[in-house]
């Protein structure tokens, strides 16, 4: 729909009529303006024929109306557009160390390595986090920021899907991953800073210890939810089939201490179903729904009536300037 930003400007429309209320100018006796180069009939014809004068008057009124309309600032009010919901600032830290290639999980009924399962389950979790600012950290021997905090959930999901085991090294630097997340979340809004850290091992690398990083996170107001995967039976493929043994690389005690120190929770998933249930629980613990805001885009349209008024003024000028000239030219041809 079209609206006017300054509708009170339309009150200027009748201003030219005030000229009719002004008293006529009175000249002093005997005063006159002599134009020796023009004949009296040329002066009388300067305004053009009556039909042309009426057209000029109509165009003048139209030009004035368009200028007043432009001054009223017409705007096109677009359809309501939903703004991103004011949700959590949520950072995902995913372990891509060498142990994540263990194929001890099932995905769609087939054996799959740990990272493939994480990509599948965490990808669906990302899709549900509408309104959140999401970021992604990949860590192994070192921690790297893969995606800064953004509302672009598709990009975060895509970059998680492109993660490769061993990309950040073969070891596990849990403390460095937490420290990097705290650095990115520190300046965000209070009470909405959340880190979800997923790993299948214990700290074997990095300059910052996991518990020390947890204390720093607590001071910065960052809640950490730790998810330990593995720790159950580990599948080993042999020529005689799949043999299973108890995995011992996970350190649940440290992960639980990290979560407790920052006000979060620790979860352990020994299979795909448990991992899916954990992410559903995280949806409940950290809901992203907030009051929704909308806005209607505005597009200024004043230049259309202003441009049309300029065009009419040019036409009026051509008519006013062409009247006497045309008559003199016609008189010359007749002579």
Q: How many CB atoms lie within 10 A of CB 254?
A: 21
Q: How many CB atoms lie within 10 A of CB 10?
A: 14
Per-residue confidence (pLDDT) for residue 276, from 0 to 100:
87
Mutual orientation of helices 252-262 and 174-185 as an angle, nearest 10°?
Answer: 20
User: Which residues face 236 on adjacent strands?
Assistant: 243
Which tokens in the block code for residue 146?
């893969």
If you ran DSSP here, which 8-state letter would residue 109 be given? T
Per-residue confidence (pLDDT) for residue 8, from 0 to 100:
92
Beta strand ranges found along the chain (DSSP E)? 2-4, 74-77, 81-82, 89-95, 105-107, 110-112, 133-139, 143-150, 193-199, 223-229, 233-238, 241-246, 266-269, 294-295, 298-300
Average pLDDT for 184-200: 85
**pLDDT cut 90: percent of the chain above it:** 30
Position 245 pLDDT exceeds 80: no
User: Which residues face 133 on adjacent strands?
Assistant: 89
Sign of CA pseudo-dihedral 59, 60, 66, 69 = negative
The pLDDT confidence band at residue 145, using thresholds 50, 70 and 90, is very high
Residue with tokens 């960052």: 222
- Residues in contact with 303: Cβ distance below 8 Å, sequence separation at least 6, in sequence order: 70
Which tokens in the block code for residue 268?
């352990």
129 vs 135, 197, 198, 332, CA distance in Å? 12, 16, 17, 84
Position 201 pLDDT exceeds 70: yes
> Quick one: which of 259, 254, 201 has its CA closest to 229?
201
pLDDT, tens digit, 9 for 90 and up, residues 122-144 = 888 888 887 788 999 999 999 99
Average pLDDT for 252-273: 89
Position 21 pLDDT exceeds 50: yes
Average pLDDT for 149-172: 90
3-state secondary structure of 148: strand
Which DSSP helix (H) or strand (E) runs through 219? helix 210-219
Contact (CB, 8 A) for 334 and 63: no
3-state secondary structure of 59: helix
Average pLDDT for 70-74: 91
Q: Among 10-24, 27-41, 47-61, which stretch is predicted with the lowest mean pLDDT?
A: 27-41
Mutual orientation of helices 174-185 and 210-219 as an angle, nearest 10°?
Answer: 10
Which tokens in the block code for residue 168?
């950040």
Q: Which of 144-148, 191-195, 239-243 has the highest mean pLDDT?
A: 144-148
Q: How far apart are CA 160 and CA 134, in angstroms?
A: 12
Rounded to two decimals, the pTM is: 0.59
Instruction: Delimit the domains of the chain by residue range.
Output: 1-7+51-79+296-330, 89-285
Q: How far apart are CA 136 and CA 92, in angstroms?
A: 5
Per-residue confidence (pLDDT) for residue 244, from 0 to 100:
53
pLDDT, tens digit, 9 for 90 and up, residues 204-215 = 888 899 999 999
Contact (CB, 8 A) for 258 and 267: no
- What is the secondary structure of 167-204 as a DSSP string? TT-SS--HHHHHHHHHHHHTTS-TT-EEEEEEESS---
CATH architecture observed for domain 89-285: 3-Layer(aba) Sandwich (3.40)
Position 296 pLDDT exceeds 90: no
Contact (CB, 8 A) for 210 and 248: no
């Amino acid at each position: 729909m079209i609206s006017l930003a300054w509708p009170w400007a339309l009150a200027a429309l009748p201003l030219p009529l005030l000229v009719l209320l002004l008293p006529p100018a009175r000249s002093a006796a005997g005063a006159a303006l002599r134009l020796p180069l023009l004949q009296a009939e040329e002066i009388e014809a300067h305004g053009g024929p009556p039909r042309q004068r009426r057209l000029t008057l109509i165009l003048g009124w139209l030009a004035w109306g368009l200028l007043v309309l432009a001054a009223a600032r017409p705007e096109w009010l677009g359809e309501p557009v939903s703004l991103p919901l004011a949700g959590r600032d949520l950072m995902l830290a995913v372990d891509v160390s060498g142990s994540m290639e263990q194929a001890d999980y099932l995905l769609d009924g087939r054996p799959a390595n740990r990272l493939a399962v994480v990509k599948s389950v965490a990808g669906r979790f990302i899709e549900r986090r509408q309104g959140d600012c999401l970021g992604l950290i990949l860590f192994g021997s070192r921690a790297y920021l893969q995606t800064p905090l953004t509302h672009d959930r598709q990009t975060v999901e895509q970059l998680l899907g492109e993660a490769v085991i061993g990309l950040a090294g073969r070891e596990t630097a849990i403390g460095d991953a937490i420290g990097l997340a705290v650095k990115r979340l520190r300046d965000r809004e209070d009470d909405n800073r959340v880190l979800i850290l997923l790993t299948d091992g214990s700290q074997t690398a990095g300059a910052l210890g996991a518990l020390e990083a947890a204390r720093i996170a607590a001071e910065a107001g960052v809640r950490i939810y730790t998810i330990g995967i593995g720790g159950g039976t580990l599948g080993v493929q042999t020529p005689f089939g799949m043999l299973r043994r108890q995995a011992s690389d996970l350190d649940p005690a440290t992960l639980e201490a990290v979560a407790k120190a920052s006000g979060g929770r620790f979860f352990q998933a020994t299979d795909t179903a448990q991992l899916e249930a954990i992410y559903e629980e995280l949806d409940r613990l950290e809901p992203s729904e907030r009051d929704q805001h909308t806005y209607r885009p505005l597009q200024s349209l004043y230049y259309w009536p202003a441009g049309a008024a300029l065009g009419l003024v040019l036409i009026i000028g051509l008519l006013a300037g062409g009247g006497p000239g045309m008559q003199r030219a016609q008189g010359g041809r007749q002579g």
